[in-house]
Amino acid sequence: MLGSLVDTVSYVAQLIGVAVFAASGCLSGGQKRMDLFGVTVVGSVTALGGGTLRDLVLDQPVFWVIDNAYLLVAGVSVAATFFLVRYLRAPKGTLLVLDALGLALFTVLGAQKALDLGTTLLIAVMMSAMTGAVGGLLRDLLCNELPRMFFSRDLYATPALAGAATYVALSKFEPITSLPMVAGFSVTLALRLASLKLNLGLPVFRDRHSGAGEKDGEV
Amino acid sequence: MLGSLVDTVSYVAQLIGVAVFAASGCLSGGQKRMDLFGVTVVGSVTALGGGTLRDLVLDQPVFWVIDNAYLLVAGVSVAATFFLVRYLRAPKGTLLVLDALGLALFTVLGAQKALDLGTTLLIAVMMSAMTGAVGGLLRDLLCNELPRMFFSRDLYATPALAGAATYVALSKFEPITSLPMVAGFSVTLALRLASLKLNLGLPVFRDRHSGAGEKDGEV
Amino acid sequence: MLGSLVDTVSYVAQLIGVAVFAASGCLSGGQKRMDLFGVTVVGSVTALGGGTLRDLVLDQPVFWVIDNAYLLVAGVSVAATFFLVRYLRAPKGTLLVLDALGLALFTVLGAQKALDLGTTLLIAVMMSAMTGAVGGLLRDLLCNELPRMFFSRDLYATPALAGAATYVALSKFEPITSLPMVAGFSVTLALRLASLKLNLGLPVFRDRHSGAGEKDGEV
């Protein structure tokens, strides 16, 4: 009963996550003045790329091939963004909160899927971060940009890793209730929002010589 | 009898498509002054990347692992392009027509492969466009360029989507004859060539504020 | 007995290869001033990306999902590089030799894995080069650079292809002893080091018209 409620809530939240990631990809492509096809591809890859790579690596059927709702939601979200943005200014704060919600959801669901398949805990945490973060990474590659999340303006993947670790650790002790899921979700969401509010970042690569960024290095 | 003729024709046309896409990738890499290995990789990925991704997503054996002829044709095409281009000017019009032919073929064959596996119609259309268009997208990524087909100078993926939809719709009613194949192929080819001739394009992303292209956006 | 020694040696050497490739990726990301998460992703993808693509294409379980030691070694290597580089100058010559060692090992192991699965010889050679070279290619994509190995400053993939061909050819005659492995490894290593020493390179794409590199071409 509660389980089935959690399932419904998490399915709906996942579709919201897909919609938000698709809108984010559409806006990124739009800033490059791509056409309708371009923003559709970038939006869909942003929304579905992380879960697709996870499913390929775990040798599972790709989730959107099984349930086309994900594809449809991504498509509708891109189309809505494409047309609405001509009339409205994108509400940046709202989008960031929705994106954090999507990240938190994808994180927990990615970890759950891996654990259900009997992977090690390390792999479960990795699959989780992959589900949440790879979409944004592919978005930036398609837009010919360095991946934003690799540069510490705020924390993006770290909250996902922390949330996934929370989820994975708790599931050892609470395999039945939805406590691990709620906790993993909350940790990811709270850390992500806190990092935005407080401008938290990770240490940046810095070698002994000040000019690390300028040299065209080679190994 | 007719079926076997269609099979032979479509196999040969597919190899021509591979050769043309490989030449296109080789020329793109060449414009960056890549070496023989570089243009071979870019050419092969352009020719085989779309079908490879399709096979991975549908959990099928990768087509060029099963039938090495595709690899060999891609390699020979790159080598021929690499050496001939020193003496000849690439016949641009001819290449565009051959590329359209390859696109039309890949489109229909991608849809057919998906339908044969019992996917939904939506997935069949997507796999079809993926087979035709992802190679060119990966080519541009490897050359560190924004994907050309995301910018409306002409229609590229739209003809593939239209042709795939035609094929998929007709196969419901004509599962046995090769009419759906011929129709899907013709629609893709005709739309692609018409868009080149008439400079047709898709609407471009444009937000309320004129300077969309300049701002370094973030979501 | 000897076989088991070869197994142990090749496993250890493979982990060294992973560590070196991960360090190489970390340094590349570091030159872009990425944060700890960024260099970890670039390092891991450099170390594990080639083998991952090989396993996906051959429809095998992904090697680091099965044996997490690869992941751990990549992570430790990135962390060590990240912190040590603040105090030490990276010993470039040493890194190049270790990288050549990793390349030679990955090459032979990639070919072996493919042959064990009963692929054709051509596919075995390709999988081999893929295992050795794709990691470095993905590293450059993530750093938004043209793939270094596509530009002939020295030979990188060619030694891998030659070593793989040696291994594959010899395994037809010597399926039991480890002679093919040692020979394939040695050919790759020797050619790679010789090309660095002697500045050997492949022919570069050059068309009839001198300005090939400047024109923004299109096919």
The residue among B28 and B153 whose pLDDT is bigger is B28
So what's the pLDDT on residue B17? 86
Partners of residue B71 in chain C, C-beta under 8 Å: 122-123, 126
DSSP class of residue C155? -
The reply to whether residue C122 touches residue B68, judged by beta carbons under 8 angstroms, is: yes
What secondary structure, in 3-state letters, does chain B show?
A: CHHHHHHHHHHHHHHHHHHHHHHHHHHHHHHCCCEHHHHHHHHHHHHHHHHHHHHHHCCCCCHHHHCCHHHHHHHHHHHHHHHHCCCCCCCHHHHHHHHHHHHHHHHHHHHHHHHHCCCCHHHHHHHHHHHHHHHHHHHHHHCCCCCHHHCCCCCCHHHHHHHHHHHHHHHHHCCCCCHHHHHHHHHHHHHHHHHHHHCCCCCECCCCCCCCCCCCCCC
| pLDDT above 70 as % of chain B | 88
Q: Is residue A213 part of a domain?
A: no
A98 vs A80, residue with greater confidence: A80
Q: Which residues of A touch B141 (CB under 8 A)?
A: 141-142
Interface test with B, best of A65, A83, A137, A146 (most B CBs within 10 A): A65
- Average pLDDT (B3-15) is 79
Q: In the block, which residue shows the tokens 């795939």? A: B164
One pLDDT digit (tens) per residue for chain C, 219 residues:
556 777 787 788 788 889 989 998 998 888 888 988 999 999 999 999 999 999 999 999 999 999 999 999 999 999 998 888 777 766 677 777 878 888 888 888 888 888 889 899 999 999 998 988 899 899 999 999 999 888 877 788 889 999 999 999 998 876 667 788 889 999 999 999 998 888 777 777 776 554 444 344 333
> Quick one: pLDDT at residue B11?
85
In-domain check, residue B213: no
Nearest 10 degrees: Cα torsion C168, C169, C170, C173: 110
Q: What is the DSSP string of C29-66?
A: HHHTT-BHHHHHHHHHHHHHHHHHHHHHHTT---HHHH
Say yes or no for a CB contact (<8 Å) between B213 and A85.
no
A212 is a domain residue: no
**How many CB contacts within 8 angstroms connect chain B with chain C?**
107
- Over residues B13-20, the mean pLDDT reads 87
DSSP string for A117-136 = TT--HHHHHHHHHHHHHHHH
Q: Is A35 helix (H, G, I), strand (E, B) or coil?
A: strand
Position B218 pLDDT exceeds 60: no
- Cross-chain Cβ contact B207/A30 below 8 Å: yes
For residue C45, give both structure tokens: 């993808």
Q: What are the pLDDT digits (tens) for A32-65?
A: 889 889 999 999 999 999 999 999 999 999 999 9
Q: What is the pLDDT of residue A86?
A: 73
Given a cut of 90, whether residue A141 has pLDDT beyond it is yes
**pTM exceeding 0.90:** no
pLDDT over 70 at A218, yes or no: no
Dump pLDDT digits (tens) for A195-205: 888 877 777 77
- Distance separating alpha carbons of residues A153 and A132, to the nearest angstrom: 18
Total CB pairs under 8 A between chain A and C: 108
B90 pLDDT more than 70: no
Q: What range defines the domain where residue A137 resides? A: 13-198
Residue B111 lies in a domain: yes
Chain B residues near any Cβ of chain C (below 8 Å): 23-24, 26-39, 41-42, 52, 56, 59, 61-62, 65, 68, 71-72, 82, 85-90, 92, 95-96, 99, 141-144, 148
Comparing CB atoms, the residue among B152, B202, B217 nearest residue A28 is: B217
Mean pLDDT of all residues in A106-118:
88
Helix, strand, coil share (%) of chain A residues, nearest 5: 75, 0, 25
Averaged over A68-73, what is the pLDDT? 95
Report the distance separating Cα A17 and Cα A21, nearest Å.
Answer: 6
* Residue pLDDT, tens place only, B22-45: 998 998 888 888 988 999 999 999
> Which SS3 state, helix, strand or coil, does residue C171 take?
helix
Lowest mean pLDDT among A174-178, B142-146, B176-180, C122-126: A174-178
pLDDT for B2 beyond 50:
yes
| Cross-chain residue pair C35–A157, CB shorter than 8 Å | no
Neighbour subunits, C (≥3 Cβ pairs < 8 A): A, B
Of A138 and A208, more confident: A138
User: Using the beta-carbon criterion (under 8 Å), do A146 and C52 form an inter-chain contact?
Assistant: no
Which pair of structure tokens corresponds to residue B187?
């629609």
Q: Which residue has the higher pLDDT, A163 or C93?
A: A163
Would you state the pLDDT for residue A10? Answer: 77
Using a CB–CB cut-off of 8 Å, the residues of A that contact C are 56-59, 119-120, 122-123, 126, 137, 141, 144-147, 149-152, 156-158, 201-209, 212-213, 215-219
Work out the number of other CB atoms within 10 angstroms of the CB of residue B55. Answer: 24
Each residue's pLDDT tens digit, B60-80: 999 999 999 999 999 999 999
Residue showing tokens 């509660």: A2
Rounded Cα–Cα distance for residues B92 and B13 (Å): 19
Nearest one of A205, B37, A129 to C30, comparing CA atoms: A205
Task: Report, as an integer, the average pLDDT of A22-34.
Answer: 88
Q: How many angstroms separate the CA of residue C1 from the nearest CA in chain A?
A: 31
CA B13 to chain CA centroid, nearest Å: 13
Of C119, C202, C208, the CB nearest to B36: C202
| Nearest Cβ partner for C85 among A123, A207, A218 | A207
Strand partners for A35 = B204
Could you give the C-alpha distances from A6 to A11, A198, C127, in angstroms and in order?
8, 31, 44
Give the ipTM. 0.84
> Token match 């002939």: residue?
C152
Q: What is the mean pLDDT of chain A?
A: 84
- On whether residue C154 sits in a domain, the answer given is yes
pLDDT at position A219 over 80: no
Percent of chain A past pLDDT 70, that is, above it, reads: 88
Q: How far is CA B1 from CA A111, B8, B180, in A?
A: 52, 11, 17
> Per the structure, how many domains does chain B have?
1
Instruction: Please calculate the CA angle C147-C151-C153 and round it to the nearest 5 degrees.
Output: 120
- Those chains having 3 or more beta-carbon pairs within 8 angstroms of chain B are A, C
Chain A residue numbers with beta carbons less than 8 Å from the beta carbon of B208 are 85-89
**Residue from B65, B87, B97 whose CB has the most chain C CBs within 10 Å, to mutate:** B65
Q: Give the distance from residue C8's alpha carbon to the nearest chain B alpha carbon, in angstroms.
A: 30
Instruction: Let me know if residue C207 belongs to a domain.
Output: no
Cα C30 from chain centre: 20
pLDDT for B82: 86
C-alpha distance from B216 to closest chain A C-alpha (Å): 8
Beta bridge partner(s), residue B35: C204
Q: In this structure, is residue A76 part of a structural domain?
A: yes
pLDDT value, residue C207:
65
Contact A202 C35 (CB under 8 A): yes
Whether residue A132 is contained in a domain is answered as yes
**Interface probe with C: pick from A140, A205, A209, most Cβ of C within 10 Å:** A205
Average pLDDT over residues B112-129: 90
* Residue B152 scores a pLDDT above 90: no
